[in-house]
Structure 1
Amino acid sequence: MQPFKPSTPQDVRTMIFKKLALSALILGSTQFTFALSPSQEEDKLDRYYQAFENRSSELEDVDNELFGYEYKLERAQKDLQSAEQELSKAQSEYATAKAALLKDNSEDNLRNMNLTEHALKMSERGVRTRTKRLERVENNIAELTAKKEQLSKQVTEGQKRITAQEKLVQKVKADASRRLAQAEQAKAEAQRRMLEEKRLAESSRKAVEASLNKPTSPSPVSQPAVQVPTESIAAAADESPDTIDQSELSTLDREALEYAQKEIARLEDLLTDSNHGRPTYKRLTLGGNKVETEQFEFLGKDQYRVDTVVQNGRQIFQVGKHKFRRTIPASDNGAEYVFIYDAKRLSRPRLVMFKKSLLDAIN
């Protein structure tokens, strides 16, 4: 195949334009590589941390409830045992009074049998009441135990996916560094080739102009083929930025929505009673190293709420003397969050938080 032989200065300019455009394309690929960053995977990792913290908070709350029910169970068992003893005594006294009445049908014996009969009925009622109370406590313990097992499983799974995601983030960072090095190498090679192309093009232009001024045609000038470092571009294109896994994010969004729904339902259930009680704190504020100090509003039943704008990152939120470590993903930076402070256990309060926009999906 004969090499390309420019015949006119116009052909030379066209050739120069094509070559320079190709080299510019190579240089432009470097900017594409600069866009490759692990920020998306890091944001997903932060969302994993947030879900893990929410589950851990729920698990701690269930543990606290179970701790309280252990005392209730012990108390209910003792009360039932005492009621059964009283029932046994009442049955014995009633049997004695009834036997005495059969022997002597006197008014005193009749009155005594009526009294012991009433005492027996009250004792039977006491046993039934305490049995039902014990059953309620046992049922609540069973439900809480099942909930604890479910949350414990979710916490364990959360720890596993955090560990896996941390490894992925490290890999993505390493890949990004490698891609950046490849892009810089491709850029340097492209710049070198652009200078070489300019030099060859200038030589070709001069040769064409000289040939046009001579009566005889010179020997054909062989035009070196331009080798484009397409390997670097292909490698960068194949290793495009790690796109967000939409199905995974949908799962995370559903988890966040379920968490918010559960907490709103809990609040609504607590506040159905018109007697909300009085606030324990005269002034309760939410503070932290990345959030403006805001005052809570008392909702009732030891529940407080404040809405505020948050910044991304792992941070400490402080309510009174209690501190809570939480994570805000980068995708939620500048978003408004709902904070609910559950102070029904003053020694072990709980801080609930979720993005306010989730309330639109709930309502």
Structure 2
Amino acid sequence: MKLSQRASNSKPSMTMALIALANERKAQGQAVISMVAGEPDFPTPDNIRVAGIRAIATGDTRYGAATGSPALRRAIAKKFAEDNQATFTPDQIVVATGTKPLLYTAFMALCDAGDEIIVPAPYWVSYPSLVELAGASTVILSCGEEAGFKVTATALRAAVTPHTRVLLLNSPGNPTGAVYSKQELEEILAVLRDHPRIFLVTDEIYEHLVYDGQQHYSPSALAPDLAGRIIVINGFSKGYGMIGWRLGFAAGPKEVMTAMGSFLSHILGAPSTITEAAGLAALEEPKPYLRVYREDYEARRDLALALIREIPGVHCATPGGAFFLFVNCTGLFGKTSQAGSAITDDAAFARAAIEEAGVAIVPGASFGMPGYFRLSYSMSTQDIRTGLQSLIRFCAALV
């Protein structure tokens, strides 16, 4: 069967594939600690769950507005003003079923064939696929450990071409947990001022998970003069513990939001009114869990770092946010496991880790940076200890 070129080029998410593999091995009876998914293990807070149940009980189960309910868009505008010091009106906000459709439709609204989107690496695994599906070209800008896994103004300026249409930023970042400082963002925004054709799409889904007293800065608040060229993507899954509810939102220039809303109306129809009711409660009611979650994840980060640093031949920078470690494992290359697995690269290490240590991790090549692996510490401290102690024993036996 001949499929389209688009279908031929599309690759499934490596993260989803590894989650499936871990689940398959569990079903076969193997003890597996999956450190793959970026999925908070905290339950959705009670008040949010009750709001969703109430929506079902009261019959709020019909079609809603394609761009999100007016009440939720007003609440999101208020959230931007209070949390981010950014000014958006409700008609500059679009709500959708998660953030992937918002990223995709933002690229669709901004780019034509031949336009380029600069994607810093390491990147979230779906970014390049979403760019390509939107018909644009991905320009990978490698941002190594020496740069803190972040784009510098100098590197950005060198990467811009006459075809550059969008710069995509993610802070706090997945897979590295890198957090851009105010100064770093201001320097990037200064570059964009010199290139009026370039838009900035900023993914801020981990904004509530920032550690060590750092602060999350939204570029939309730092550069009001660039308001016509900044699109913010965010959602409820990480900070609010609403993973399976699937609710994201975007804010930006009205013309771009209108185009995104049009695309979404054909692709998705409208967000679930039940989920929207839960999201409204998340924004309008007290949120003590945000601090509790952040402090708990920071403690888990410290535990995971301490354990991973017991492995000779690997090293890991301290992430400033999110809930991932991005670990350099090149010091293990060339070794062989007790079962005879040759550790030739990060993919071989990840395969051996799940097969022989019962620990599922994601190879760095999936994020555009070979020589590393990503592990999530968004599970219980007991699972963190069990998984990483097993990995320590596995690596200690390498020869």
Coarse TM-score class (shorter-chain normalised): under 0.3
Rg larger for: 1
Q: Which structure: greater helix fraction?
A: 1
* Structure 1 length-normalised TM: 0.19
